Amino acid sequence: MKLVLEILRFQPESAGAARVQRFETEAGPGDRLLDALVDIQRRIDPTLAFRKSCGHGVCGSDAMLINGRERLACKTLVKDVAAEGGPAVTVAPLRNLETVRDLIVAEEPFFKRYRAAKPYLIAPDAGPEGRERPQTPEERGAFDDATNCILCAACFSACPVVREVNPRFIGPAAIVQASRFLEDSRDRGLADRLAALDHPDGVWPCENRFECTRVCPRDIKVTKLINLTKQDITRFKGAKPEGR
Amino acid sequence: MGGASQVVLHEHDAVIVGAGGAGLYAALRASHRVRTAVLSKVHPLRSHTGAAQGGIGAALGNVEEDRPEWHAFDTVKGGDYLVDQGAALILAEEAVEAVIDLEHRGLPFNRTPDGRIDQRRFGGHTRNFGEAAVRRSCYAGDRTGHMILQTLYQQCVKNEVAFFDEYHALDIVLDGRTSSGVVAVDLASGEIHLFRAKAVLMATGGFGRMYRVTSNAYASTGDGPAVLARRGIPLEDMEFFQFHPTGLRGLGILITEAVRGEGGVLRNRAGERFMERYSPKLLDLAPRDIVSRAIVTEIREGRGFHGDGSAGDYVVLDATALGKATLEAKLPDITGFCRTYLGIDPAETPIPVLPTAHYAMGGIPTDDRGRVSSSTSGEPYQGLYAAGECACVSVHGANRLGTNSLVDLVVFGRRAGDHMAEFAAGSEGARREADGLELARMWRERWEPKPAAPGSTAHDIRRRMEALMTEKVGIYRSGPALAEAVEELKELRREWQGLRPGDSARSFNLERLDILELGNLLDLAYLTAASALGRTESRGSHSREDHPGRDDPNWLRHTMARLDGGGVSLAYRPVDVTRWTPAPRTY
Q: What ipTM did this prediction achieve? A: 0.97
Q: What are phi and psi of B170, to 5 degrees?
A: -105, -35
- Checking if the pLDDT of A102 tops 70, the result is yes
B513-537 as b/e: b if 16+ CB within 10 A: bbbbbbbbbbbbbbbbbbbbbbbeb
Give the model's confidence band at B4: pLDDT under 50 very low, under 70 low, under 90 confident, else very high: very low
Give CA–CA dist A100/B506, Å, rounded. Answer: 12
- Quote the pLDDT of residue A16: 78
Cβ separation B117–A132 shorter than 8 A:
yes
Given a contact cutoff of 8 angstroms between Cβ atoms, the answer to whether B538 and B544 are in contact is yes
List residues bridging with B193 in a β-sheet. B8, B184
User: Nearest-CA distance from A178 to chain B in Å?
Assistant: 12
Residue A135 near chain B (CB below 8 Å): yes
Query: Between A and B, how many CB-CB pairs are < 8 A?
Result: 150
Determine the average pLDDT of the residues in B519-541.
98
**What's the pLDDT tens digit per position in A117-127?**
999 999 999 99
Residue A140 near chain B (CB below 8 Å): yes
User: Nearest-CA distance from A184 to chain B in Å?
Assistant: 9
Strand pairing class (B192-196; B14-17) = unpaired
Determine the average pLDDT of the residues in B480-492.
98
- Percent of chain B past pLDDT 70, that is, above it, reads 96
Which chain A residues touch B514 with a CB distance below 8 Å?
46
- Checking if the pLDDT of B99 tops 60, the result is yes
Which chain A residues touch B212 with a CB distance below 8 Å?
none
Residues 196-225 of chain A with CB under 8 A from chain B are none
Cβ separation B158–A13 shorter than 8 A:
no
Give CA–CA dist B230/B365, Å, rounded. Answer: 15
Which chain A residues touch B150 with a CB distance below 8 Å?
147
Q: Just list the catalytic residues of B.
A: 288
Rounded (5°) CA angle B75-B76-B79: 85
Rounded (5°) CA angle A99-A100-A103: 65
- Checking if the pLDDT of B2 tops 50, the result is no
Nearest residue to B522 (alpha-carbon basis) of B478, B491, B498: B491
Nearest residue to B7 (alpha-carbon basis) of B190, B218, B161, B154: B190
- Quote the pLDDT of residue B567: 96
Residue A137 near chain B (CB below 8 Å): yes
- Quote the pLDDT of residue B435: 79
- Quote the pLDDT of residue B185: 97
Nearest residue to B222 (alpha-carbon basis) of B386, B83, B376, B355: B386
- Quote the pLDDT of residue B432: 53
Cβ separation A12–B507 shorter than 8 A:
yes
- Checking if the pLDDT of B540 tops 60, the result is yes
Least confident of A9-18, A176-185, B197-206: A9-18
Instruction: Compare all CA atoms of chain B with the CA of A180 and give the residue at the minimum distance.
Output: B108
Which chain A residues touch B163 with a CB distance below 8 Å?
none
Given a contact cutoff of 8 angstroms between Cβ atoms, the answer to whether B231 and B174 are in contact is yes
Cβ separation A136–B115 shorter than 8 A:
yes
- Checking if the pLDDT of B529 tops 90, the result is yes
Instruction: Compare all CA atoms of chain B with the CA of A142 and give the residue at the minimum distance.
Output: B108
**What's the pLDDT tens digit per position in A1-30?**
999 999 999 998 887 789 999 999 999 999
User: Nearest-CA distance from B146 to chain A in Å?
Assistant: 8
Residue A44 near chain B (CB below 8 Å): no
- Quote the pLDDT of residue B316: 98
- Quote the pLDDT of residue A244: 37
**What's the pLDDT tens digit per position in B330-341?**
899 999 999 999
Give CA–CA dist A235/B187, Å, rounded. Answer: 46
Which chain A residues touch B117 with a CB distance below 8 Å?
132
**What's the pLDDT tens digit per position in B349-406?**
999 999 999 999 999 999 999 999 976 666 789 999 999 999 999 999 999 999 999 9
Give the model's confidence band at B502: pLDDT under 50 very low, under 70 low, under 90 confident, else very high: confident
Cβ separation A119–B506 shorter than 8 A:
no
The closest CB to that of A132, out of B116, B146, B508, belongs to: B116
Residues with Cβ within 8 Å of residue B333, at least 6 apart in sequence: A58, B53, B141, B142, B143
Residue A12 near chain B (CB below 8 Å): yes
- Checking if the pLDDT of B116 tops 90, the result is yes
User: Nearest-CA distance from B329 to chain A in Å?
Assistant: 10
Interface test with chain B among A9, A41, A54, by most B beta carbons within 10 Å: A54
- Quote the pLDDT of residue A241: 55
- Checking if the pLDDT of B471 tops 90, the result is yes
List residues bridging with B182 in a β-sheet. B172, B195
Given a contact cutoff of 8 angstroms between Cβ atoms, the answer to whether B232 and B211 are in contact is no
Give the model's confidence band at B269: pLDDT under 50 very low, under 70 low, under 90 confident, else very high: very high
The closest CB to that of B508, out of A104, A123, A132, belongs to: A104
- Checking if the pLDDT of B583 tops 90, the result is yes
Determine the average pLDDT of the residues in B542-552.
98
The closest CB to that of B113, out of A55, A111, A137, belongs to: A137
Give CA–CA dist B283/B273, Å, rounded. Answer: 9
Give the model's confidence band at B37: pLDDT under 50 very low, under 70 low, under 90 confident, else very high: very high
Cβ separation B48–A104 shorter than 8 A:
no
The beta strand positions in B389-497, using DSSP E, are: 391-392, 476-477
Interface test with chain A among B40, B160, B218, B462, by most A beta carbons within 10 Å: B218
**B67, exposed or middle or buried, with CB in 10 Å at 0-12, 13-18, 19+?**
middle
Given a contact cutoff of 8 angstroms between Cβ atoms, the answer to whether B572 and B376 are in contact is yes
**What's the pLDDT tens digit per position in A197-217?**
999 999 999 999 999 999 999
Cβ separation B157–A55 shorter than 8 A:
no
On average, the pLDDT of chain B sits at 94
Q: What are phi and psi of B359, to 5 degrees?
A: -150, 135
Q: What are phi and psi of B56, to 5 degrees?
A: -125, 120
Instruction: Compare all CA atoms of chain B with the CA of A134 and give the residue at the minimum distance.
Output: B115
Cβ separation A55–B218 shorter than 8 A:
yes
The 10 Å Cβ neighbour count of residue A244 is 11
- Quote the pLDDT of residue B287: 94
Residue A15 near chain B (CB below 8 Å): no
Residues with Cβ within 8 Å of residue A127, at least 6 apart in sequence: A133, B100, B103, B104
- Checking if the pLDDT of B342 tops 80, the result is yes
Cβ separation A58–B158 shorter than 8 A:
no
Determine the average pLDDT of the residues in A40-51.
95
Which chain B residues touch A13 with a CB distance below 8 Å?
505-507
Instruction: Compare all CA atoms of chain B with the CA of A32 and give the residue at the minimum distance.
Output: B341
- Quote the pLDDT of residue A4: 97
Instruction: Compare all CA atoms of chain A with the CA of B254 and give the residue at the minimum distance.
Output: A56
Cβ separation B188–A100 shorter than 8 A:
yes
- Quote the pLDDT of residue B203: 98
Nearest residue to A102 (alpha-carbon basis) of B505, B517, B502: B505
- Quote the pLDDT of residue B575: 96
- Checking if the pLDDT of B72 tops 80, the result is yes
Determine the average pLDDT of the residues in B248-274.
95
Helix (H, G, I), strand (E, B) or coil at B484: helix
- Percent of chain B past pLDDT 90, that is, above it, reads 90
Residue A130 near chain B (CB below 8 Å): yes
The closest CB to that of A147, out of B116, B147, B459, belongs to: B147
Rounded (5°) CA angle A63-A119-B12: 90
- Checking if the pLDDT of B430 tops 90, the result is no
Determine the average pLDDT of the residues in A177-197.
97
Cβ separation A132–B143 shorter than 8 A:
no
Interface test with chain A among B510, B513, B516, by most A beta carbons within 10 Å: B510
CA quadruple A129, A131, A137, A143: dihedral positive or negative?
A: positive
Question: Across chain B, which distance is largest between two alpha carbons, in Å?
Answer: 73
Least confident of A95-109, B50-64, B224-238, B425-439: B425-439
Interface test with chain B among A40, A45, A53, A219, by most B beta carbons within 10 Å: A53
- Percent of chain A past pLDDT 70, that is, above it, reads 98
- Checking if the pLDDT of B1 tops 50, the result is no
Cβ separation A54–B46 shorter than 8 A:
yes
The closest CB to that of A140, out of B50, B108, B114, belongs to: B108
Cβ separation B511–A130 shorter than 8 A:
no
The 10 Å Cβ neighbour count of residue B300 is 12
Output DSSP code: residue B250.
T
Which chain B residues touch A127 with a CB distance below 8 Å?
100, 103-104
Instruction: Compare all CA atoms of chain B with the CA of A44 and give the residue at the minimum distance.
Output: B459
Which chain A residues touch B510 with a CB distance below 8 Å?
41, 49
Instruction: Compare all CA atoms of chain A with the CA of B53 and give the residue at the minimum distance.
Output: A58
